Amino acid sequence: MMAEVSMLKPTAANPATSPTLTDVLAASVNAKAVDALALLKKAAAELKAVTFANSFGVEDMVLTDIILKNKLAIDIFSLDTGRLPVETYDLMAATEKYYNTKLNVFFPQAQTVEFYVKNHGINAFYESIDLRKSCCHMRKVEPLQRALKGKTAWITGMRAAQATTRTSLPVREYDEANKLEKFNPLSDWTEQEVWAYIRLHNVPFNALHDQFYPSIGCAPCTRAVAVGEDVRAGRWWWEDPTSKECGLHVK
């Protein structure tokens, strides 16, 4: 049986997922949503072959909602690393049903994964930063490169406030690694504004968010965070915060 996917069912235990919807907050979210939509429309018109990388975090669900409800000419793809939490797979299925759409899903190369596991072990990413980054490369970076092939621009749900590695995040930049334009429409959004949008527009989200997982990646590399911890503290928690990127967004 499929695990429950959260649909506006905030829990009292995690107030972060259910901010008080004041008039000021609602007005701020609505204004920023208008700006995000305008940016996405401009990107699609100017650059044509535009795609959105949906990792099924709450920010990505905001952008999914904006893109699909407004029928924008923007493809949506996801990376299935092979080690995602069951809640993420449930949200993938729920998203297709809720929006009556089909997602493009890219997987790692089987032979590369088999070689890594045979030579380093199934959980070798805990042993060193190099082995962790090698795992991220084969499960995320290489599939991303295939997903972006033939595209002129891609869109992410990154926010500047998410991590020390993202503090100077522009709304638009040139992605030198992938040789195409890159848009971050939610760069200046706060976590409270993201959740306000989810509540205002009845957007499905990952059930792990209600269990204190503000940032969700692969299951072995993600944990819940304590009150007061950084929103990215649960990602690769055994590493220094300045190295906490998988390679998808490293300049």
Q: Given the residues 135, 136, 218, 246, select the one marked as catalytic.
A: 246
Residue 204 contacts residue 92 (beta carbons within 8 Å): no
CB atoms within 10 A of CB 74: 23
Question: Under a CB-based contact definition with an 8 Å cutoff, are residues 181 and 2 in contact?
Answer: no
Q: Is 135 noted as a catalytic residue in this protein?
A: no
Contact indicator for 234, 213 with CB cutoff of 8 Å: yes
CB 8 within 8 A of CB 199: yes
Residue type, 31: A
CA–CA dist 41, 20 (Å, integer): 30
Question: Catalytic residue numbers?
Answer: 246
